[in-house]
Chains A and B, each alone.
Chain A
Amino acid sequence: MRRMTIAALALIGAFVALYLTMYKMGAIGHLACGLGGCERVNTSSWSIFVGAPVAAWGLAFYVVTFLVALAGTSARYAARPELSYLLAAMSFVGVAFSAWLTYLELYVIEAICKYCVSSAVIVTLIFLVSVADVMAHRRTNQTS
């Protein structure tokens, strides 16, 4: 159930990141100078990270998280705690990265992007659910 929740959240996150990636690539709308908001965030020099748009990194992150969580719901891996640790570790990195991005939005770029914020919320939820998943697996290990 928890991994299903993670998979569902990751899929939602993937769509948010897909939208932002398409926006960045020019498939949705066209680049422009706006009066503030998303355009400013997604066209700032901070919107590129290690050679690829931040949004594309987000998309890759959500797709991988979705696949790991989906595998974790299969009968074969359902009882394996390793996937829970992996999901918790991955989403921790995601939360840390999102925290850094939100910091940049608020204090450096001084513009907020609601899609970016919703991605940060989603990754935080994924992290919380994956921690709950880790704890549940620990409990079953101790009782068995």
Chain B
Amino acid sequence: MANNNPPRNAKSAAAKPSSQRSVFIGVLIAIVVVGGAAIAYLMKNPSAGEGSATAQAAYDSLQANYKNAGPAKPYVMGNPSAPVVIEEFADFECPVCGNYATVTEPDVRKQIVQAGLAYYKYYDFPLPMHHNTQFASNAAACADEQGKFWEMHDQLYAGQDSWGLNPDGETQVTDNPKPIFVGYANKIGLNAAQFEKCYDSRKYQSRVDANTAEGFKRGVNQTPTFFINGTKMPGALPYDMIKSAVDAAAATAAASAAKPPATK
């Protein structure tokens, strides 16, 4: 078996294959080490894998649209003096946001916000490829005018399939989502005439734009993106992750509020 080398290698058979083999094994080990390290790094810094020069240019030109927006005015829930602030930047037409809003957010509201652990702020961050999302943000703002933002928020996310993206993730279910939004307005008990007037005039478009501008200012480039006491956490986070981030932020806030002079 040892003499099984092909004849054309016969001359250097003694030395070459074994040294070549050790180089080969070295190369394989190097690939495993570098590849493993790269994946470990990307697991720790998920955003490092994104963003090219063209993506940055596209981002900058989008951001330029919101240069003159006024101060952001998020929609809020909970106790403003809670030790932690959870800020969410989201797009009503984004299916991932819809998934968060319908699956995770009820727990966040009940266990964290209503329990007094955190104050919740929602900012619109409508993405350009979602054609109906600006309309949805307007509908939500008009519901807020009548004190029912969160009710409309829940209707919009739960009903995404009837006014948002088709399952292909590209095309929209409808070109005219207004009748569906008016249906939601009636369902949650809004004054429909007032709602329609507000919606048709895009009364709160500037508020939507200002919230979007705030997202751009903070480097938001995907939805949902959360900030928990200012720490950016992109993606539809599971409940456990939000809870542990809130607990950690509360502990940090408590520690700095107590300001222990020289203990530890």
Are A34 and B221 closer than 8 Å at their CB atoms?
A: yes
Question: Is A18 among interface residues, defined by CB-CB distance under 8 A?
Answer: yes
How many whole Å from B9's CB to the nearest CB in chain A?
9
| Interface bits A17-56 vs B (CB < 8 Å: 1, else 0) | 0110011000111111111111100011100000000000
Question: Is A140 among interface residues, defined by CB-CB distance under 8 A?
Answer: yes
How many whole Å from B114's CB to the nearest CB in chain A?
24
Are A29 and B169 closer than 8 Å at their CB atoms?
A: no
Are B4 and A8 closer than 8 Å at their CB atoms?
A: no
Are A38 and B50 closer than 8 Å at their CB atoms?
A: yes
Interface 9-mer from A70-78, A95-103, A124-132: A70-78
How many whole Å from A121's CB to the nearest CB in chain B?
16
Question: Is A11 among interface residues, defined by CB-CB distance under 8 A?
Answer: yes
Are A45 and B28 closer than 8 Å at their CB atoms?
A: no
From the candidates B36, B46, B58, B97, name the one contacting A28 in the complex (CB within 8 A): B46
Question: Is A135 among interface residues, defined by CB-CB distance under 8 A?
Answer: no
Are A33 and B97 closer than 8 Å at their CB atoms?
A: yes
Using A15-B35, A43-B169 as known contacts, say yes or no to A33 and B91 having CB atoms under 8 A apart. yes
Q: Which positions 85-127 of chain B face chain A at CB distance < 8 Å?
A: 91, 94-97, 127
Residue of B nearest to A31 (CB): B96
How many whole Å from A44's CB to the nearest CB in chain B?
5
Q: Contact residue range for chain B?
A: 35 or more
From the candidates B1, B39, B49, name the one contacting A15 in the complex (CB within 8 A): B39
| Interface bits A107-137 vs B (CB < 8 Å: 1, else 0) | 0010000110000000000000000000000
Which A residues are in CB contact (< 8 Å) with B237? Answer: 30
- Give Cα distance in the complex from A39 to B225, angstroms: 14
Are B35 and A4 closer than 8 Å at their CB atoms?
A: no
Which A residues are in CB contact (< 8 Å) with B20? Answer: 1, 4
Which A residues are in CB contact (< 8 Å) with B94? Answer: 32-33
Q: How many residues of A contact B (CB 8 A)?
A: 38
How many whole Å from B164's CB to the nearest CB in chain A?
11
Question: Is A12 among interface residues, defined by CB-CB distance under 8 A?
Answer: yes
- Give Cα distance in the complex from A31 to B234, angstroms: 9
Question: Is B260 among interface residues, defined by CB-CB distance under 8 A?
Answer: no
Using A27-B43, A28-B42 as known contacts, say yes or no to A34 and B35 having CB atoms under 8 A apart. no
How many whole Å from A11's CB to the nearest CB in chain B?
5
Question: Is B180 among interface residues, defined by CB-CB distance under 8 A?
Answer: no
Question: Is B149 among interface residues, defined by CB-CB distance under 8 A?
Answer: no
Using A8-B28, A15-B39, A38-B50 as known contacts, say yes or no to A32 and B234 having CB atoms under 8 A apart. yes
How many whole Å from A69's CB to the nearest CB in chain B?
11
Question: Is B31 among interface residues, defined by CB-CB distance under 8 A?
Answer: yes
- Give Cα distance in the complex from A49 to B35, angstroms: 25
- Give Cα distance in the complex from A101 to B39, angstroms: 23
A-B contact pairs, 10 of them (CB 8 A): A4-B20, A12-B35, A15-B31, A15-B39, A28-B43, A35-B58, A37-B52, A75-B2, A78-B5, A144-B7
Q: A residues near B, CB below 8 A?
A: 1, 4, 7-8, 11-12, 14-15, 18-19, 22-23, 27-39, 43-45, 73, 75-76, 78-79, 109, 114-115, 140, 144
Q: B residues near A, CB below 8 A?
A: 1-2, 4-8, 17, 20-21, 24, 27-28, 31-32, 35-36, 38-39, 42-43, 46-47, 49-52, 55, 58-59, 62, 91, 94-97, 127-130, 167-170, 221-225, 234-237
